[in-house]
Structure 1
Amino acid sequence: MKKASLLLLASISLLSCNNDKKNFDASGTFEAIETIISADANGTINAFNIEEGQLLENNQFIGYIDSTQLYLKKVQLEKQINALLSKKPNVAVQLASLNIQLSKANKEKNRISNLLKDGAATPKQLDDINADIEVLKKQMDAQKSSLSITSDGISKDANPLYVQVEQIQDQLNKCKIINKTKGTVLTKYAEVNEMTSQGKALYKIADMSTIILRAYISGNQLPNVKLNQKVTVSTDDGKGGFNTTEGTITWINEKAEFTPKTIQTKDERANLVYAIKVKVKNDGRFKIGMYGEVKF
């Protein structure tokens, strides 16, 4: 009877030891790459169509900031440009009279040339008309040069206004709130009709399709891990068991740090540990801050 009692006691002790033995090599909590999206313009938020937990696509339009004054300023600049360009001279109209005179002079030259062949005109008459034609051509060249200088000057005066229009258009584009990274909205910092300013946070987003388990290992475990190593990640299934999935070690800290109070290590006596990151595909089970365990 005494021998049976001792055997039962030993079995219980052995079972207790086995239960106390940890079946994981490292543990930690899940995190994601979080991005805070800020406003690019100043003004009142007229529309902001997002909710926390909502999945946003890349380049999705989600709202806009009041841009009335910017739009009116753009219209004003465009009218200034039109008014300035309307002062550019019409070269064809300005040279029309000289072209008529040159055409008449050329006809007269042909007439005198024919008369000269018949002996009805003198060479001096032909020389005079040729001189008149050369004068008209020089007048036309001078007029063209003057008109070109005037036109180019007006165009150069308009160039800074064009740049201002582009600047205003860029500011108008920034009044549109467009999501630039696919992910889930974690926190919403602003609401419709609130004032915002450039650089002020609007919402925080994270891509939850993949999630990162930041775990900690002791120095003795370092030789057992390497980058791109496949590991098993376990989480509580809520029924007394575990859900397991495959993960990949993507980062190993080169510097040791003191063990965080909320983290257990395989060797709980280890004061200095090394952080690692394990990338895991998320099917929706994993949440930021959830506890997870790693088995090498």
Structure 2
Amino acid sequence: MHQIKNITMAMGIAIMLVACNRNNTSFDASGSFEAEETLISSEAVGVIKQFDIEEGQTLNAGQNIGYIDSLQLHLKRKQLEAQIVSILGKKPNVSVQLSALQEQLRNAENEKIRISNLLKGDAATPKQLDDINNQVAVLKKQIEAQKSTLNISSDGLGKDALALQVQIEQLNDQIAKCKITNPISGTVLTKYAEANEMTAVGKPLYKIADLSNILLRAYVSGNQLPQIALNQKVKVLTDDGEGGYNQTEGTIIWISSKAEFTPKTIQTKEERANMVYAIKVKVKNDGLYKIGMYGEILFSDK
């Protein structure tokens, strides 16, 4: 009976020692998990006709998830296209409008050749040749002047049409922005809008974050800085819910260059330190780690 009592007492002491040892586990730093969150906002004004996402849903980059009413933009584009057709229809046909003067010039040049031949046989006078030369010169100037006027008119109408074409391109860009396309792969954290609601440029639609890799923001004292470096591998531990810890490996990807006062919710290894430095540890997430979850860091094996 006495032997059984001694064994029971020894087991109790062992259990207490294990529990105390677990509760007194020393960590180099601690903090909470966060993610790089991206707020996706509307790029158009109008009624949301379709918006197919839910909080917690995983989206791929480039995935179409809805659209905003763009009927008025389409109608405006059709109006501009019709205006362009009308303007280009007014452009003069330079060759047709110059054909009469060019025919007169050809006749005058033929007459010049005929008079030149007659002059050689003393059948025409020098004045007749001078008159036909002047007529040819005048017709050439008229053709050049008319051509210049027609080209200026044509260029002006072309520029008017080009200005409308630029407006069409702007409308095409606005119409494209009516499609709600998810820009990055990740998980929808918060949804701010619903189908059939009115939205505007810059109004938030949803918040998304890539949770395949998650960040543990922790704080260290100035005395601990020599122990850490960028790209250093560290141990990351979280409560497993049974009094123990889940352990994985993380990488230090950022160390603050300036000190700050210790956050009220954070305790570092040296609890009396007033000033600490923030660090970020990147951890591969298999679904275990959630935003806001508490975690601890070991810089080396204890």
Q: TM-score range by the shorter chain?
A: 0.7 to 0.9
- Equivalent residue in structure 2 for 1:104, among 102, 107, 110: 107
CA contact (8 A) 1:211 1:280 kept: yes
- C-alpha change, 1:114 and 1:238, in structure 2 (3 Å) is farther
From 232, 257, 267, the equivalent of 2:261 is 257
CA distance in 2, matches of 1:99, 1:230: 87
2:204 partner letter: A
Distance 1:85 1:56 in 2: 46
Q: Alignment partner of 2:195: what SS? A: coil
Asked if 1:169 corresponds to 2:172, the answer is yes
Aligned letter for 1:131? N
Partner of residue 25, structure 1: 28
Amino acid at match of 2:206: Y
- The Cα shift of 1:166 comes to 2.8
Cα deviation, 1:174-193, whole Å, max 9, x if unaligned, reads 21212222222111111211
3-state SS in 2 of match to 1:121: coil
CA–CA distance in structure 1, aligned partners of residues 131 and 272 of structure 2: 116
Amino acid at match of 1:83: S
Query: Is 1:194 paired with 2:202?
Result: no
Contact preservation (8 Å) 2:22, 2:244: no
Distance 1:202 1:13 in 2: 53
**1:181-240 deviation per Cα after TM superposition (whole angstroms, max 9, x unaligned):** 222211111121111111111010111222100122344433322332211112344565
Whether 2:122 is the aligned partner of 1:115: answer: no
Deviations for 1:69-103, whole angstroms, at most 9, x for unmatched residues? 11111211222222223222211111010111111
Residue 91 (structure 2) pairs with residue 69 (structure 1): no
Number of the residue aligned with 1:285: 288
1:158-237 pair list within 5 angstroms: 158-237=161-240
SS class of match (1:208): coil
Of the structure 1 ranges 124-133 and 186-195, higher mean CA displacement relative to structure 2 is found in 124-133
Alpha-carbon shift at residue 267 of structure 1 (Å): 4.1
Range that drifts further, 195-204 or 22-31:
22-31
TM-score (structure 2 length as normaliser): 0.85
Q: Which runs of 5+ in 2 are unaligned?
A: none
AA in 1 matched with 2:135: D
Q: Sort the Cα spacing of 1:53 and 1:89 in 2 relative to 1 into closer, same or farther, 3 A.
A: same
Offset at residue 245 of structure 1 (A): 2.3
Does 2:150 match 1:147?
A: yes
Deviations 1:32-78 (A, max 9, x none): 01011010111111122222222222232222110111111121122
> Helix, strand or coil for the counterpart of 1:95?
helix
- Cα–Cα, structure 1 residues 19 and 287, in superposed 2: closer, same or farther, change >3 Å? closer
1:56 aligns with 2:59: yes
> Are the counterparts in 2 of residues 259 and 272 from structure 1 also a CA contact under 8 Å?
no
Tell me, what secondary structure is at the counterpart of 2:129? helix
**Kept in 2: contact 1:258–1:272 (CA 8 A):** yes
**Range with bigger deviation, 169-178 or 89-98:** 169-178
Mark the CA change 1:88 to 1:196 in structure 2 (over 3 Å): closer, same or farther.
same
Aligned to 1:89: 92
8 A contact 1:190–1:202 mirrored in 2: yes
Instruction: Measure, in 2, the Cα distance between the counterparts of 1:70 and 1:16.
Output: 69
Contact kept in structure 2, 1:259 and 1:271, CA below 8 Å? no
